[in-house]
Every structure is written in structure tokens, then in C-alpha cells.
Chains A and B, each alone.
Chain A
Amino acid sequence: METHVEVTDTRTIVKSTTKTKSKKLKSAITIGLFVAPALIVYTLYVLYPIFTTFIYSFYDWDGMGVGTYVGLQNYLDLLKDAIFWKSLTNNTWVVFTSVFAQIPLGLIMALMLFAPIKGIKFFSSIYFFPFLMSTVAVGLLWVLMFDPINGMINQLVNVFGFENIAWLSEPNTALFAVLLVIVWQFAPFYMILFKAAIVGIPEELYEAAEIDGASSITKFFHITFPLLMPTIVSSSILAIVGSLKAFDIFYIMTGGGPNHGTELLGTYMFKQAFINFNMGYASAIAFVMFFLALLVTILIQTMDYYRKKRGAYV
């Protein structure tokens, strides 16, 4: 009898442990089934390619067959490549323009949406238009606007008594022109971010300030602006990371020219890979882009972490 009881006891114990084990396994399978489709696509088209780009960057390779392993040579060449540095400088210009022109303009546009004037609904609909247009269409439209002879911009320039300018054929004016278009296209995006943030500011704050006799300027600098700070920070993050990735509008409007005047890491990488077929060298440029994006992200996350730790997070 005794042994029998023992046996059943161990049986139940064994049964229950296998039960928890099988339950665990079952839930692992469930999770796996839910995540698998996304993970497979993501691994195939994002994770594996990044890893492969890193490997390719150690090869001298024209895209056909097997390349020659060259170690760090591509990266060393990159350091001596004036066009690479020019591209990096131009990327920095895009960052500055995004942070110091797009974001302030976006903020002004958002504030306008709350201005006590008639027809603001109509205004706001139109303000958003540029962001909806395909970048290719934006680029081609502005190439025509900047046309030296048939362009609208030179017409305007003539009104102010200046000569026609060949905007896109001079390195300096070309960079300025493309940056202007970038501001035009993306300011509306920051406008909607700020609009959402302004809506979130409690009305009572303004009412209290009004009772204290605050002017609209005081109200802006003491209520609106400080409370928009988190949005300004997150917009800047988006702008910086976005600027590292910039490609489309430059490729369409100037192709990186004239004389590399508007070359970016993105356009230079594309040319090296798919026009010159220096796939190894292009991979090194691409990996630098990845590394910079990673660096910026880690930097911002760390800053954010300490900001939250200090309790300064609004």
C-alpha cells in the first residue's frame, strides 16, 4: 500500500512538473507564432543586411563573384577621401538647417494655427500640403522653380533688381536651394507635432497668467515655450537622425553636384555602389552612416535617461 501511494505521489509530482514545463513550452510556442512573421521579415531585410554590409566593407568587390579581403583598407581610404569629408560636412549642414530653420518655422506655423484670425482652418489645410507631396514630385517642381530662365524664383529675384542666378549650377547656391526646399517640405511635419503639444497645454495656465496681467509675449516665454521643450527635444532628435538619412531630394534636384557641392553620405554611397560598382567601398560608407545613427541614438537615449533620473522630465 505504502509503496503504491509513493508511486502515485511521485507520479503526480512528475505530472505537475511536466505540466508546468509543457505550459511554458506552450506559451513559448504561442509567443513564437505571434512574433515569427514579423521577426522573419525583419531579420531577412534589416538585421541580416546590416551584418552583411559590415562584412562587405572589408572587401574590395565590384558586386560580381567574390571580392578580395582588404581588411580596414576601405575605412583608411575613406579617411583620406575629400569627397567623403565634403559629404559629411553637407550632412552637418542639413542637420543645422533642420534644427535651426525647420523646427522654428514649424513652431511659428503651429502658433499661427491658434491665432485669433478668420479662416485659420483653411490656412492650416494649405500649410500641411508640402509634406503630403512625394519627394520626387517636390524635387522636380522646385528644379523648375529654380530654373535660370523659366523659373519663378529668378522672376522674383528680378523684381528686386538682381540678375538671374543659375541656382543649381553653382555649388554654394545649389546647397542653399536644396536646403530651402527641405525646409519647405518638412516644416509642416514639425507644425503638426507642435500643434499636438500646444493643444495639450492646460488652458488654466493662460487664464491664471492673464489674471496676473501677463502679455502674450510673457505668456509665450513663460508658459508655452517651456512646456514645449520636450517636443522641441524630440523634434530635434527626429531632425538629426532624419538628416543623416537624407537622400531623395538631393538625388532628384542635384544628384550631389555640381562638383560634389551638394554631395551627402547617402548620394555618395549610392554612386559608389550602383554607378561605380565599388560595392566594398560603398558598404564602408553605409556602415559609417549606420554607426553615426547608432551613436546619435545612444547619445540621446543616455541624455534622456539622466534627464529622467534627475526628475527634470516634463
Chain B
Amino acid sequence: MTIRFKKIPLYVLAVLLLIFTGFPFLYMISTALKSRSEFFEKPFAMFSSFNLENFQSVFEMGLTRYFLNSALVSIVAVFAVMIIASLASYPLSRMKFKMNKVLFLLFISGMMLPIHATLIPIFKLSQSMGIFDTLWALLGPYIAFSLPISIFILTQFMQEIPKSLEEAAKIDGCNHFGIFWRVILPMLTPALMTVLIYNFIHLWNEFIFALVLISSPESMTLPLGLQDFKGEFSVNIPGLMAALTVASLPILVVYLFSQEKVVKGLAGGAVKE
């Protein structure tokens, strides 16, 4: 009995934290399921109704377009980053050359960089390249700003791969590309998963480049589109909440199916082993 009694404060704290972290979600979903009139009658009633109309109207308002744009640009950028970063990480972690350390520091110092320091030149650049206000404009900055963390994760991982494997391949007549392709890359899967999850979540939610480089609704990504919804929905809060729910759903689904991987992926960049 005494042990159980001792645990009560722990349960109280756990539940308080649960309310603090989880309640806004419940509020968002339960509001999304209300009709507009219901919301004005009883805005605080939880799950008083189950009304999917809002979701339907949100998709009719163009959310599908934003959703597809976000999916397209983040998937393409993430795969490009996975290829480019693992290529660069190979000599940085496994070959000795003069500029090695300098190059490595140059890449990973990007993690500390405020994006604002690059905004105006990238804005001008995308205008002069004629890709301003298209998804192409986002691709370059998305890849470039994902490189530092990705190279950091991949080089850390590659250093752990035993040198003997590489030497065996060398004896068999493999050149560096062969070693990279046949020996290193197949062993890289866990690190690449981390890179994939980390970058996908960040790019799916990316806001500031989209805000600066995109202006027309056809090219808007989800975060930018949502921010645009704000005005249209000033009278339709349940509709706005439905849009927010839809926008948060993909990441939450991925998380619920592979929690361990997502948590590891998100910590991957920050936790030094």
C-alpha cells in the first residue's frame, strides 16, 4: 500500500504533462469535427459531434494542391540529399587529403547558420534563374540546408565501418566508386533512414523559404497554404482546424507506425555518441 501511495504524485505529474502536451491536439480534432453553428453554441464541448463536412470543404478549397506540392518537393529534396550527402561523406570520412577537415567544417557549420543571412540573395537568385514562384525555387535551398546535418550523421556513421572491408574490396580490384557502391552504401541503411526521417519532417514543415520564394497558390506548400487559409477561415474556425489536422496527419501517421525510428531520427542530428 505504501508503495502505491508514493506513486500518486508521479501519476499526477504524468497526467498533468499529458494534458499540457496532448490537450491542444484533442481540442484541434474535436473542433474540426464540429459544424460552424455548433462551434459558436458550445465551443468548449469535447467531441460533441462527429461531422466530416469540414474535411471535405477543406479539400475543396485547394488543400489537395498544397498537400501534393509539399509531398513532391520534400520527397524529391530528401532523395537528392540522401544521394549527394552520402557521396560527399565518403571521402570526408574515409579518405585522407589536405582539405578534408576544412571541407568538413565548412559543411557542418551550416547547422548553426541563420537562414535569414541567405534569404535576399536566394530570392534574387531564383528570380534571375527564372524559377521564382515555382517548386524548383524551393528545391535548391531545401537540399543545401539539409546537407550539413545529413553529412554530419553520415560521416559519423561511416567512420564506424571497419577499414578491413574496404581493403578486401580493393584487393578484389574495386576502385573508390566500387567500394562506395558495393561496400559502404549497403551498410549505410540505418544512417540513411535517420537522414530521411529528419529531413522529411523538417522539409514537410518548412516555412520561411516557401514564404519568400512562392507567391501564387498553385505553387504553395502546405505550411504556406495553411497560413493563407487563416484569412479565409476567420469565420470558419472548425474548417481551419480541419485543415490543421490534415496537415499534421502524415507526420503523425509515420510517427505512430515507427515511433522508435522517428525519435531516433530526430535526435540523430543532436545526440553525440
Residues of A with Cβ closer than 8 Å to B? 27-28, 30-31, 34-35, 37-39, 41-42, 44-50, 52-53, 56, 63, 108-109, 112, 115-117, 120, 123, 125-137, 140-142, 144-145, 150, 152, 155, 184, 188-189, 192-193, 196-197, 234-235, 238, 241, 244-245, 247-248, 251-252, 265-266, 269-270, 273-274, 279, 282-283, 285-287, 289-290, 293-294, 296-297
Binary per-residue interface labels of chain B (64-107) against chain A in the complex, 1 for a CB within 8 Å, 0 otherwise = 00000000000000000001110110111001010000010011
Identify the closest chain A residue to B251 (Cβ). Answer: A132
**Contact in complex: B44, A155 (CB < 8 Å):** yes
The A/B interface has a contact count, at CB < 8 Å, of 249
What are 11 A-B contacts with C-beta separation under 8 Å?
Answer: A27-B95, A35-B92, A49-B119, A63-B124, A137-B248, A140-B227, A189-B270, A247-B208, A287-B117, A290-B114, A293-B112
Say whether A144 contacts B237, CB under 8 Å.
yes
Q: Which of B55-63, B143-151, B162-170, B188-196 contacts A (4 or more CB under 8 A)?
A: B143-151
Measured CB to CB, the nearest residue on chain B to A280 is B120
Cβ A188 vs Cβ B21 within 8 A: yes
Chain B residues, Cβ within 8 Å of A266:
114, 116
In the complex, the answer to whether B90 meets A34 with C-beta atoms within 8 Å is yes
Bound CA span A130–B27, Å: 13
Within the complex, what minimum Cβ distance (angstroms) separates B77 from chain A?
A: 11
Contacts of A234 in B (CB 8 A): 270, 272
Would A117 and B116 be within 8 Å (CB), given that A34-B91, A38-B88, A134-B248 are in contact?
no
| B7–A37 CB distance below 8 A | no
Closest to A32 in B: B91
Contact A279 to B120, CB < 8 A, known contacts A132-B201, A155-B44, A297-B112 = yes
Q: Is the CB of B205 within 8 A of A135?
A: yes
**In the assembled complex, which residues on chain B have CB atoms less than 8 Å from the CB atom of A41?**
84, 140, 143-144, 147
A37 to B147, CA, bound (A): 11
In the complex, the chain B residue whose C-beta lies closest to that of A268 is B116
B13 at the interface (CB under 8 A from A): yes
A293–B144 CB distance below 8 A: no
Cβ-defined contact, A123 with B17, below 8 A: yes
Residues of chain B lying within 8 A (CB to CB) of residue A289? 114, 116-117
**Which of A56, A193, A234, A248 is the most central at the interface, judged by chain B CB atoms within 10 Å of its CB?**
A248
Residue from the set B20, B83, B256 with the largest chain A CB neighbour count within 10 Å: B20
Instruction: Report the bound CA distance from A252 to B208 in whole Å.
Output: 11
| Cα separation A115 to B83 with both chains bound (whole Å) | 41
> Does A129 lie within 8 Å of B21, measured CB to CB?
yes
- The answer to whether B208 and A129 touch across the interface, beta carbons within 8 angstroms, is no
Residues of B within 8 A of A120 (CB): 14
> Is the pair A238, B270 in contact by a Cβ cutoff of 8 Å?
yes
B177 contacts across to A, CB distance below 8 A: 30
Asked if A252 and B121 make an inter-chain contact with CB atoms under 8 angstroms apart, the answer reads no
Q: Does B122 sit within 8 A of A, measured CB to CB?
A: yes
Top 9 A-B pairs, shortest CB-CB distance: A45-B144, A49-B121, A49-B118, A38-B88, A290-B117, A134-B205, A52-B121, A136-B223, A137-B244
Contacts of B114 in A (CB 8 A): 244-245, 266, 286, 289-290, 293
Assembly CA distance A127 to B259 (angstroms): 12
Q: Which residues of B contact A115 (CB under 8 A)?
A: 10, 14
A115 to chain B, nearest CB (A): 5
Is the pair B145, A31 in contact by a Cβ cutoff of 8 Å?
A: no
Interfacial residues, chain B to chain A (CB-CB below 8 A): 7, 10-11, 13-14, 17-18, 20-22, 24-25, 27-28, 31, 39, 43-44, 83-85, 87-88, 90-92, 95, 97, 103, 106-107, 109-110, 112-125, 140-141, 143-145, 147, 151, 175-177, 180, 201, 204-205, 207-208, 211-212, 222-224, 226-227, 230, 237, 240-241, 244, 247-248, 251-252, 255-256, 259, 262-263, 266-267, 270-272
Contact A45 B13 (CB under 8 A): no
- Which of B114, B115, B230 is most buried by chain A, counting CB atoms within 10 A of its CB? B114
Residue of A nearest to B95 (CB): A31
What is the bound-complex CA distance between A152 and B107, given in angstroms?
45
Specify the chain B residue showing the minimal Cβ separation from A289.
B114
Are A136 and B87 in contact, CB atoms less than 8 angstroms apart? Answer: no
* Docked-complex contact A31 and B116, CB < 8 angstroms: no
CA distance A280 to B270 in the complex (A): 35
User: B116, A247: Cβ atoms under 8 Å?
Assistant: yes
Bound complex: CA A270 to CA B93 (Å): 38
Given A53-B120, A115-B10, A290-B114, check contact A193 B44 (CB 8 Å). Answer: no
Question: Does A132 contact B271, Cβ atoms closer than 8 Å?
Answer: no
Interface centre among A44, A189, A252, A269, by most chain B C-beta atoms within 10 angstroms, is A44
B231 smallest CB distance to A (angstroms): 11
CB-based contact A290/B267 at 8 Å: no
**Contact (Cβ within 8 A) B113 A126:** no
Contact of B117 with A145 in the complex, beta carbons under 8 Å: no
- Which B residue's beta carbon lies closest to that of A245? B114
Using CB atoms, name the residue of chain B closest to A121.
Answer: B259
A44, A53, A193: which contacts B270 (Cβ < 8 A)? A193
Instruction: Select one of A35, A37, A132, A265 contacting B255, CB under 8 A.
Output: A132
Closest to A264 in B: B116
- How many whole Å from A167's CB to the nearest CB in chain B? 15
Instruction: Check A134/B240 contact, CB under 8 A, given A45-B144, A241-B112.
Output: no
Chain B residue numbers with a CB within 8 Å of A130 are: 21, 24
Q: Is the CB of B17 within 8 A of A109?
A: yes
